[in-house]
Amino acid sequence: MSEIRVPHVEPPYPFEAYAHVVEPLSEADGGGYLITFPDLPGCMSDGESEAEALVNARDAFSAWISARTHAGKPIPKPTRHGESAEPVRLMQRLPRSLHASLVARAKAEGTSLNTLVTMLLAEGLGRREPSSGERTATMRQGLVR
């Protein structure tokens, strides 16, 4: 088998722009944590701790971008890149009393109902910390500065 040298390529979007999924690995799979990138098929890494997995994920990201470019394939855009991401529509049924409370609060705060609900959802997600025993994958999206 021959060795191919792939030169480093600067990514078109920073590491932080790409969502990544952190999942604990079972003891049967060696323990630790696995990180995958939904927007970058086949790009993954692992580590004994979440911090180590994240350091290793940066290396995997860099190697994936360089190899993909070397192969002449396009680099996918991040699903969510900064604030220019296309908003999505959320339809949710609410009890009339909750809707009335939200409308009254939005009016009192001088904002739209949509803006108020978006702010409340963002605040709630920011406060929620997954419990250490939670086995579900955590989706993380970095902020682009």
pLDDT of residue 98: 95
Assess contact for 51 and 32: CB atoms under 8 A: no
pLDDT of residue 130: 55
C-alpha atoms less than 13 angstroms from C-alpha of 90 in its C-beta half-sphere: 9
Predicted TM-score (pTM) of the model is 0.56
pLDDT of residue 108: 93
pLDDT of residue 93: 92
CA distance readout (Å), 92 to 28, 104, 117, 135, 140: 40, 18, 11, 27, 24
pLDDT of residue 49: 92
Q: What structural domains and CATH numbers belong to the chain?
A: 15-82+129-140 (3.30.160.250), 86-126 (1.10.1220)
Blockwise average pLDDT, block size 10, the chain, 145 residues: 87 89 90 92 94 93 95 88 62 93 93 88 71 46 41
How buried is residue 21: exposed, middle or buried, by Cβ count under 10 Å (0-12/13-18/19+)? middle
Q: 138: part of which helix (H) or strand (E)?
A: strand 138-140
